[in-house]
Every structure is written in structure tokens, then in C-alpha cells.
Amino acid sequence: MGRGPNTADAGLVEAGITLDRGFVTVNGRLSTNHTGVYAVGDIVPGLQLAHRGFQQGVFVAEEIAGLNPAPIDESGIPRVTYSNPELASGGLTETQARERHGDVTTLVYDLAGNGKSQILGASGGVKLVKAGGPDTDGPVVGIHLAGSRVGEMISEAQLIVNWGAHPNEVAQLVHAHPTQSEALGEAHLALAGKPLHAHS
């Protein structure tokens, strides 16, 4: 539906803080144009999500404490749409991956091959986006899920993407049967060239 920053009456302009269409302009370390003044959460351009705001708050606290925290990679922030079926994403979309990495390889694993999804009557799929062509090794840079309850699978997906795991590294990890998370393992098996249970 669309939401915007609520900064109009906060006195930021009067304090000399730079805004852009109501959003507070910050650098990669969440500092405004005023040294010692930071911004976090929905007033910072980007994903307007609670967990992003939490992490930015932690970042600024650590920055002020002199702990030199690692900058937050916006593309690594997981996104879930709590609809039915659910949508969940971590990392880059296929289009973003092509812009950043050039050649990419994608794979869609159909939940029809996943036992727990069959038990639940859930349809949908797991889409993997790997940097590099089909014959080259490269990290998985994006994972996109669609289907009933797939939001619960985003934690493993964001670990894979944020740690830069390669398909064959995830393929050798054992996933419990029958779980929907098994579909993530199966998708990586398929992308590593050794599909196990595949139905469409």
C-alpha cells in the first residue's frame, strides 16, 4: 500500500540535517551530514522492515561504542510477505544478480518433489540464483521462495546467501525428511548437478 517517512515536524531541517523527499540522508555507516548524529529504521531509504531497523540500531550503538561493526548489506536482509501462499526472499533477484555479476545461473525446484509440501497440500517452488554460468562454480547470491509456510525457510536461505555458500557446499548438508526445508537441500543438489527427488 505504500508507507513514507514521518519526518515533516521533527525539526530535522531546522537542525540542518539533510533530507531527500523526507528520508534522512546517511552514509554507509548510518551517519547523517552532522557528525555524531545517526539515523536508523524507516526514515533511512531502503527496506522499511522491523528487523532492518533493529539491526541498524545495534550497528549505531556499536559504532558509537567504537566497536567498528561491519556495514549492513541491504541485499542480505530477508524479506517475507505473510500472505497465503507466502513469498520469501534473501539476496539478489535474478535481474539484480545479472547487473552485479554478469552471467548467472538459475534453478527452480518445484515443491511437488517435496514430501512435507505434499502432506500439507502446498504448491510452489524454490528459485536459486547463482553467480556465474552453468559450467562455473560460484556462490548462490539469491534465494526466492513461494508457497505455503515458506517464510519459515528464510532463515536457512539467508544464511546460504550471506555466507556466500556454493551449490555443492549446501548439497552435501543433510536435510531432515520430511520437512519443507528439504526443498532447499534438493534445489542445491539439482543446481550442483545431482538432482534427487524431482517432480513438476
Ligand X SMILES: Cc1cc2nc3c(=O)[nH]c(=O)nc-3n(C[C@H](O)[C@H](O)[C@H](O)COP(=O)(O)OP(=O)(O)OC[C@H]3O[C@@H](n4cnc5c(N)ncnc54)[C@H](O)[C@@H]3O)c2cc1C
The footprint of ligand X (CB under 6 A) covers 3, 6, 9-10, 41-42, 48-51, 53, 82
* 49 vs 108 by CB, closer to ligand X: 49
We find the least distance from the C-beta atom of residue 177 to ligand X, in angstroms, to be 30
* 49 vs 72 by CB, closer to ligand X: 49
We find the least distance from the C-beta atom of residue 194 to ligand X, in angstroms, to be 36
Q: Is the peptide bond before 69 cis (omega within 30 degrees of 0)?
A: no
We find the least distance from the C-beta atom of residue 112 to ligand X, in angstroms, to be 29
* 3 vs 21 by CB, closer to ligand X: 3
We find the least distance from the C-beta atom of residue 169 to ligand X, in angstroms, to be 29
Which one is catalytic: 144, 177, 188, 199?
177
Q: Phi and psi dihedrals of 10, rounded to 5?
A: -90, -5
Burial class (CB in 10 A: 0-12, 13-18, 19+), 189: buried
Residues 197 and 186: their CA atoms lie apart, in Å, by 7
* DSSP SS3 for 58: helix
Residues 47 and 56: their CA atoms lie apart, in Å, by 12
We find the least distance from the C-beta atom of residue 5 to ligand X, in angstroms, to be 9
Burial class (CB in 10 A: 0-12, 13-18, 19+), 176: exposed
* 44 vs 171 by CB, closer to ligand X: 44
Closest CA to 122 of 83, 184, 180: 180
84-97 as b/e: b if 16+ CB within 10 A: ebbbbbbbbebeeb
* 6 vs 136 by CB, closer to ligand X: 6
Q: Is 51 a catalytic residue?
A: no
Closest CA to 47 of 104, 107, 103, 3: 3
Residue with cell 509440501: 117
- Catalytic positions are 177
